[in-house]
Amino acid sequence: MLDYETKLMESQASIIKAETTGQSWLQRSWRPVTMLTFLALVVFDSFGWLANPLADEAWTLLQIGLGGYVAGRSAEKTPIR
Q: Quick check: 73 pLDDT over 70?
A: no
Closest CA to 68 of 22, 23, 16, 24: 16
pTM value is 0.56
Q: Are residues 31 and 7 in contact, defined by beta-carbon separation less than 8 angstroms?
A: no
- Triad 19, 59, 72: Cα angle to 5°: 25
Task: Please give the pLDDT value at position 13.
Answer: 83
Q: Quick check: 44 pLDDT over 90?
A: yes
